[in-house]
Amino acid sequence: MCGIAGVLFKNSDLNAKLGETLIEMLDGCQHRGPDSTGFALYGGEAETSEFVLRFYVGEGDEGAQNVDRVKRALVEFEAEILDGERVGSTYRAVVRYEGDVQKFAYAMEHAAKLFSIGSTLDIVKDIGGAHDVDDIYDIHSANGSHGLGHVRLATESDVKPEAAHPFWATGFSDVAIVHNGQITNYFKMRRLLEQRDYEFHTDNDSELIAVYLADKLKHGETLKQALETSIVDLDGTFSFLVSTKDEMGFAKDRLAAKPMVLYENDDLIAIASEEVSLNRLFPGHALDTTEPPPGTCATWSR
Amino acid sequence: MVTVDLSELPVREANDLIRKAGANGEDVDVLNPDARHHIGVGLADPITVRIHGSAGYFCAGLTDGPRFEVESNVGWGLADNMYTGSVVVGGNASAIPAVAIRGAEVVVKGNMGSRAGQVMKEGTLLCGKNANFMAGYMMYGGRIIILGDSGERVGEDMTGGEIFVAGKIQSLGSAAMQSDMSGAEDDDVRAFLDKYEISFKGSFSKIVNEGGNLRYGTAEPRRRAIPFFTFSGKSDYWNEKVQEDIYVKSKIGRYRIRGYGGARALPHLNDIAFKKDLSNAGTDPDVVSKVNMHTLVGGRHGAKPLDLSMPVMIAPMSFGALSKSTKLAMAKAAAMVGISENTGEGGMMDEQREAADQLIFQMLSGRLGWNIHDMQRADGLEIYISQGAKPGFGGQLMAKKVTEEIARIRGIPHGIDLRSPSRHPDILGADDLVIKIEELREATGYRIPVSVKLGAGRVRDDIKIAVKDGFDFIELDGMQGSTGAAGNEVLDYCGIPTIAAMQEAEEALAEIGRRQDVDIILMGGIKDGIDTVKSLALGADAIGMGTSALIAAGCIACMQCHVGTCVVGIATQDPEHEQRYNIDIEAQNAARFFESVRWQIAALTHALGYEDVRDLSRDDLVALTPEAAAITKLPYAPEYMAGEHQIQETVNIQRSGSHLQ
Give the alpha-carbon dihedral of B370, B374, B377, B381, to 10 degrees.
-10
> Phi first, then psi: what are they for B212, rounded to 5°?
-90, -5
Short-list A111, A117, A109, CA closest to A51: A117
* Interface touch A237/B75, C-beta < 8 Å: no
| Cβ proximity of B93 and B382 under 8 Å | no
**Measured between alpha carbons, how far is residue B67 from residues B44, B63, B132 in Å?**
10, 10, 25
∠ at Cα A99 (A98, A105), nearest 5°?
A: 110
Closest residue in chain A to residue B131, using alpha carbons only: A293
Closest residue in chain A to residue B7, using alpha carbons only: A284
A194-203, B215-224, B361-370, B619-628: lowest mean pLDDT where? B215-224
Give CA–CA dist A78/A76, Å, rounded.
5
Residue B257 has pLDDT above 90, yes or no: no
Mutate to test the interface with B, among A1, A155, A290 (most CBs of B within 10 A): A155
A192-196, B41-45, B256-260, B422-426: lowest mean pLDDT where? B256-260
ipTM of the complex in this document: 0.85
Short-list B451, B462, B461, B479, CA closest to B388: B479
Radius of gyration of chain B (CA): 26
Give CA–CA dist B21/B5, Å, rounded.
14
What secondary structure does DSSP assign to A86-98, as a single string? EETTEEEEEEE--
Chain B residues touching chain A at CB-CB below 8 Å: 7, 32, 34-37, 52-54, 56-57, 71-73, 75-76, 91-92, 94-95, 111, 113-115, 132-133, 151-152, 428-432, 434-435, 438, 461, 464-465, 468-469, 511-512
* Interface touch B434/A180, C-beta < 8 Å: no
pLDDT at B177: 96
Q: What is the largest CA-CA distance in chain A?
A: 55
Residue B603 has pLDDT above 60, yes or no: yes
Residue B231 has pLDDT above 60, yes or no: no
- Least CB-CB distance to B133: which of A155, A237, A256? A256
Tell me the mean pLDDT in the region B76-92.
97
Give CA–CA dist B248/A240, Å, rounded.
48
pLDDT at A154: 79
pLDDT at A153: 86
Give CA–CA dist B575/B386, Å, rounded.
30
| Cβ proximity of A239 and A260 under 8 Å | yes
pLDDT at B658: 43
Residue B653 has pLDDT above 80, yes or no: no
Tell me the mean pLDDT in the region B293-315.
97
- Least CB-CB distance to B71: which of A257, A286, A289? A286
Q: What is the pLDDT of residues B86-129, one digit of tens each?
A: 999 999 999 999 999 999 999 999 999 999 999 999 999 999 99
| Chain B residues within an 8 Å CB radius of A153 | 430-431, 434, 468-469
pLDDT at A297: 97
Q: How far is A89 from chain B (nearest CA, A)?
A: 21
Which DSSP letter does residue B317 get? -
Residue B649 has pLDDT above 90, yes or no: no
Positive or negative, the Cα torsion across B160, B377, B76, B469? negative
Give CA–CA dist B94/B82, Å, rounded.
17
Residue B654 has pLDDT above 60, yes or no: no
* Interface touch A287/B54, C-beta < 8 Å: yes
Q: What is the pLDDT of residues B494-547, one digit of tens each?
A: 999 999 999 999 999 999 899 999 999 999 999 999 999 999 999 999 999 999
Strand ranges (E), chain A = 2-9, 36-42, 50-56, 80-87, 90-96, 113-118, 121-127, 146-152, 167-168, 176-183, 236-243, 247-252, 261-264, 268-272, 297-301
Average pLDDT over chain A, rounded to whole?
91
| Chain A residues within an 8 Å CB radius of B432 | 259
pLDDT at A156: 66
Mutate to test the interface with B, among A180, A231, A279, A296 (most CBs of B within 10 A): A279
Q: How far is A196 from chain B (nearest CA, A)?
A: 30
Closest residue in chain B to residue A181, using alpha carbons only: B429
By CB neighbour count within 10 A (0-12 exposed, 13-18 middle, 19+ buried), where does A166 fall? buried
pTM, entire model: 0.92
* Interface touch A256/B430, C-beta < 8 Å: no
* Interface touch B73/A289, C-beta < 8 Å: yes
Closest residue in chain A to residue B112, using alpha carbons only: A291
B557 — pLDDT class (breaks 50, 70, 90):
confident
Tell me the mean pLDDT in the region B72-79.
95
Catalytically annotated residues of A? 2
The three-class DSSP label of residue B81 is coil
Residue A46 has pLDDT above 70, yes or no: no
pLDDT at A1: 62
Give CA–CA dist B480/B260, Å, rounded.
10
Residue A233 has pLDDT above 80, yes or no: yes
B136-150, B214-228, B434-448: lowest mean pLDDT where? B214-228
Tell me the mean pLDDT in the region A222-245.
95
CA distance from start to end of chain B: 61
What secondary structure does DSSP assign to A168-183, as a single string? E-TTSTT-EEEEEEEE
pLDDT at B661: 34
* Interface touch B430/A155, C-beta < 8 Å: yes
Residue B552 has pLDDT above 90, yes or no: yes
Packing angle of the helix pair B324-337, B583-607 (nearest 10 deg) = 40
Chain A residues touching chain B at CB-CB below 8 Å: 1-3, 31-33, 153-156, 158, 180-182, 237, 255-259, 261, 273-276, 278-280, 283-291, 293-294
Residue B601 has pLDDT above 80, yes or no: yes
B412-441: buried (b, 16+ CB within 10 Å) or exposed (e) per residue?
A: bbeebbbbbbeebbbbbbbbbbbbbbbbbb
Q: What is the pLDDT of residues A54-90, one digit of tens each?
A: 999 998 999 999 999 999 999 998 899 999 999 999 9
pLDDT at B656: 46
Short-list B538, B521, B542, CA closest to B475: B521
| Chain A residues within an 8 Å CB radius of B72 | 286-287
Short-list B17, B56, B67, B49, CA closest to B33: B56
Instruction: Name the residue with higher pLDDT: B591 or B661.
Output: B591
Average pLDDT over chain B, rounded to whole?
92
Using DSSP, how many helices (H) and how many strands (E) does chain B show? 17, 27
